[in-house]
Structure 1
Amino acid sequence: MKFIDEAIITVQSGNGGRGCVSFRREKFIPRGGPDGGDGGNGGDVIFITSSKKRTLYQFRYQKLLRAKNGGPGLGQQKTGKSAQSLVIEIPPGTIISDPETQEIIHDFISPNDEYIVAKGGRGGQGNKRFATSTNRAPRFAQPGEPGQTIKLKVELKLLADVGIIGFPNAGKSTLLSVLSSARPKIGNYPFTTLTPTLGIVHTDRGEPFAVADIPGLIEGAHSGAGLGIKFLRHIERTKILVHLIDASAINPEKPLDLYNTINRELSLYSSKLAEKHQIVALNKLDITEAQKNADAFQSSIKNKKVILISAATGKNISNLKQEISKQLEQLYDE
């Protein structure tokens, strides 16, 4: 899976505050010397990874990120107020690079990975610092150093929260298209999806989440059959799996066969993968025989919530979306 989400943004750190030109003004001291303080430092722009962030959606409209300037120096040798850093939370898996040279500036891999993207300018020196034996009353001070203005390409490797798994033709691409604005290639033949497709899903529950349509698995996938191991690796990076089953293809005599085959492939590849949270969804409930097959499936499976949907008609898609969102919130809160 290559990265999907990207943005070109500009970051500006704050300018340093100007140094102060000031002289002592006190009773009985008619010729007070210089006492201008230094300016405060400008704010840095800092990127830090957060597990609560899962997309680069915040950069869709916010293309300029600007830290505040440092305050000017004051009399009585008081230093101006330094500006706070502008801290931007981004998801793990984000890469920042130079958009012209493509040189990678920083690869954010782990949570709480912090990097100063643009350093704030230093405050200018006040006139107190320029007093000498030959110039005891300097009437000048330094301006603050300018902050940095840097153009960045921000990329997010595909770190999907949710992977849609199932046999070819289960309806994964159609489901992704109705859950999100993604437009994967859709067709009624095996392996329509030859590469994973990422869609961003928006709900009323807060942060959007990313869903990946994983190419259809078949028996023997753990050893490379079909589109093979390469896509099982990608599933490992997800938080939740939506196990999508074509209800019209279920054998009512052996209703769990399709479900068990996919889970067997997961466990043969990795026990960790087999233990991943799953939401089971039976698709194509708009087809006549599908409801009867779904009833047989639900009667056979134990202690497992099953959501009946039709990606083609939109039936129960909102329920599925809310269930995914709820489970993700629980996992990220742990």
Structure 2
Amino acid sequence: MQFIDRAEIEVEAGKGGDGIVAFRREKYVPAGGPAGGNGGKGGSVILKAETNLQTLLDFRYARRFKADDGKRGGPNNCTGAMGKDTVIEVPCGTVIYDLETEEILGDLVEQGQTLCVAEGGKGGLGNKHFLSNQNRAPEYALPGLEGELRQLRLELKLLAEVGIIGLPNAGKSTLIASLSAARPKIADYPFTTLVPNLGVVRKPTGDGTVFADIPGLIAGAHEGVGLGHEFLRHIERTRILLHLVDVTSDNPIQDYEVIQQELNAYGRGLSDRPQIIVLNKIDACDTEILEFIAEELQPSSQHPIFAISAVTKTGVDQLLQTIWHRLEQTTPNAENSSLPLI
């Protein structure tokens, strides 16, 4: 399945039905009076969040959506039928923008949550509405109003409690594959991962926690360099960041600093997000070098530091225990305090 996290669509609500001019025509009722019904309201366009969707791919092929028009009024004071609403399903985590004003119209994060993005037009008034002492037989009615027409931009921000970040080849995909049932593409060259990968990791209590492998972060990602600028926004919803550092690279300390600088440059509170620093690939690194890297990182980082091997799963259980502990201490909308350095 192709991962698409941005789309532009046009939505148009239905036009309201016209009111009509009609009079009662009944036997033994010589002055029946006006009896033209009002038009029905036009259908609205509604977005609905669904957990079984993970991409905006469908909007590559269907970009225009229109709701049904309302029906015109009927005689005998009958109101016309309302137009049927058009319900568009989107993945949970979709942010909706007005394309012309850049206003955020809504953020759908929970299953079944809805947002009306285009309101249907009101139905026109029939001539019964204009009856008065001065005008006992009005011969005019009003047309229905046009429905709203909007250009929208949809942006998907993945809903994951734990985000895995790091330079290409730090082992992010290997880690998420070892923790969950996700099977991302893994290879020994940069930019193997082209889209975020999601995996559900089971807690000891049996509950599932969503981990997201965020690909493509390199120096200058916040300015559009590499792939990272396409996926930085997916980190915004995470509660904890796992920052993977490849201890076998030429300069692990500089690798760590590059990612931290990108988080600072992107803003939106990412640099303040609770982090756990994970030194990966310890199975291919001497103990002395590993200790040196940890000692060098401790003064510049206020985050816990762990050493693991995603391939052999060495140290992974201890890392997970700390993640569960941190998640219990934090809430999605609250400021998170850091644990003491480990």
TM over 0.5, shorter chain: yes
Distance 2:81 2:105 in 1: 30
Paired position in structure 2 for 1:278: none
* Separation in structure 2 between the aligned mates of residue 264 and residue 219 of structure 1, nearest angstrom: 19
SS at match of 1:260: coil
Structure 1 residues 261, 138: closer, same or farther in 2, change over 3 A? same
SS at match of 2:76: coil
CA distance in 1, matches of 2:90, 2:6: 12
Alignment of 1:88-127 (within 5 A): 88-127=88-127
Letter in 1 for 2:130: F
How big is the shift at 1:62?
1.2
Deviation at 1:132, TM superposition (A): 2.4
- Kept in 2, the 8 Å contact 1:218–1:262? The answer is no
Contact (CA 8 Å) 1:41, 1:120: kept in 2 or not? yes
How do 1:1-334 residues align onto structure 2 when only pairs under 5 Å count?
5-159=5-159, 168=169, 172=173, 188=189, 192-193=190-191, 197-198=195-196, 212=213, 217-218=244-245, 227=256, 258-270=312-324
Q: Is the 8 A contact 1:98 1:151 kept in 2?
A: yes
Length-normalised TM-score, structure 2? 0.55
Partner secondary structure for residue 258 of structure 1: coil
How far apart in 2 are the matches of 1:151 and 1:88?
Answer: 15
Tell me, which stretches of 5 or more residues in structure 2 are unaligned? 178-182, 199-210, 218-242, 264-269, 271-279, 285-308, 328-342
Structure 1 residues 148 and 165: CA distance shift in structure 2, 3 A: closer
Per-residue deviation, 1:219: 7.9
**Aligned counterparts of 2:20 and 2:90: Cα–Cα separation in 1:** 38
Query: What TM-score results when the alignment is normalised by the length of structure 1?
Result: 0.56
Q: How far did 1:77 drift?
A: 0.5
Residue by residue over 1:205-264, the C-alpha shift from the partner in whole angstroms, topping out at 9 and shown as x without a partner, is: xxxxx98465893589xxx98659989x9xxxxxxxxxxx99x98xxxxx9972233444
- 8 A Cα contact 2:171 2:246, kept in partner: no
User: Identity percentage over the alignment?
Assistant: 38
Q: Distance in 2 between matches of 1:83 and 1:266?
A: 52
CA distance, structure 2, for counterparts of residue 126 and residue 170 of structure 1 = 69
List runs of 5+ in structure 1 lacking aligned partners. 201-209, 234-244, 250-254, 274-334
* Paired residue total: 238
SS at match of 1:89: strand
Structure 1 CA distance for aligned equivalents of residues 317 and 82 of structure 2: 57
Deviation at 1:137, TM superposition (A): 1.7
Letter in 2 for 1:156: L
